[in-house]
Amino acid sequence: MNNLWLGYIFAIISSLFSAIYVVPKKLSKQKPATYAMIMGAGFFVTSAAGFTLLRAFNYIDEPLFFPHAILACINGVVWTVASISVLISIDKIGLAKSNQWKSLQGPIGAFLILAFFAEFLTANVTFIILAIIFITLAAMMFTTKEKHNDSVDKSGIAYALISALFYGISALIWKYLTDEGIYFAQQVFQSLFVFISAAAYVLIKYKSFRIEAIIKKAEIVLPLVGGVLFFGNASFNLLANKYIEASIAFMLHQLNAIWLLIFGVFVFKEIDYKKYWLRLTFGLALSIVGVLMLIFAKA
């Protein structure tokens, strides 16, 4: 198979994992920060095990310790801020609505990557601006009223936008490290500091590591599963970066908005499809056009 197509396939698989890894939060009663801490533990264990196995089978020859490891650690903190923000947003406005606003991470990340890596010479900024417009319009289409005609919690939208900004910054750091030839080793440090920073936040905020509903194993298993699923997301994204440009892989990654829309509307019934089918269909079309604009920006 052509390596270019292999990169596209890995990027699309990564977008699926990106959508699935937040689904367990819908089933959990854990507070967002505590959930992120446990999820970080699952992410770290699988990242460390994955790196060890890949080294053992000579699939990679990366050193565990590398000159820019501090950046991977910082990225762990940045990703934690983004993750906790989106988890709070999901609690407030649901998967479908939250992720549409979070999808602005696509053009934000693309803009930062193009700016810091001087890729404006090979990219069309007009398409990035159009992507921002289309994705914002799509998010507005999905921002329907809640049950009993209550208005949407605006703070939920704000948290989703915060997560979009920090996910975009995370993508910038990610690209720099992959350009340096560091793939799976950075994941070990990033995941470790996801756990450490989330644990520090929990300790400062709640003065203890108290876990809600500790009696139920599910409240531990669900975020751990989320961490393992995020490992799948991150790993397939790294594999995609081996065959296509990181900026292209990141843009294709935004397909997760479509997968989460399906989960939110048809599985968790967050939005009444029969009542809002026209808005949802139009919003979905705008989301797809927004992703295409990002791809065209680098075509």
DSSP 121-162: GGS-HHHHHHHHHHHHHHHHHH----GGGPPP-HHHHHHHHH
C-alpha to C-alpha distance for 155 and 32, rounded to whole angstroms: 15
Number of domains, the chain: 1
Sign, CA torsion 250/252/257/263: negative
What pLDDT is recorded for position 35? 92
What pLDDT is recorded for position 180? 87
pLDDT class of 54 with cuts at 50, 70, 90:
very high
- Kindly tell me if the per-residue pLDDT of 200 is higher than 90: yes
**What pTM, to 2 d.p., does this model score?**
0.84
Continuous H helices in 57-124: 69-93, 95-102, 105-116
What pLDDT is recorded for position 232? 94
Residue predicted with more confidence, 229 or 11:
229
What pLDDT is recorded for position 151? 65
Domain hosting 206: range is 3-297
- Kindly tell me if the per-residue pLDDT of 210 is higher than 70: no
Residue predicted with more confidence, 143 or 64:
64
Residue predicted with more confidence, 255 or 215:
255
pLDDT class of 42 with cuts at 50, 70, 90:
very high
pLDDT class of 186 with cuts at 50, 70, 90:
very high
What pLDDT is recorded for position 95? 79
Eight-state DSSP code of residue 81: H
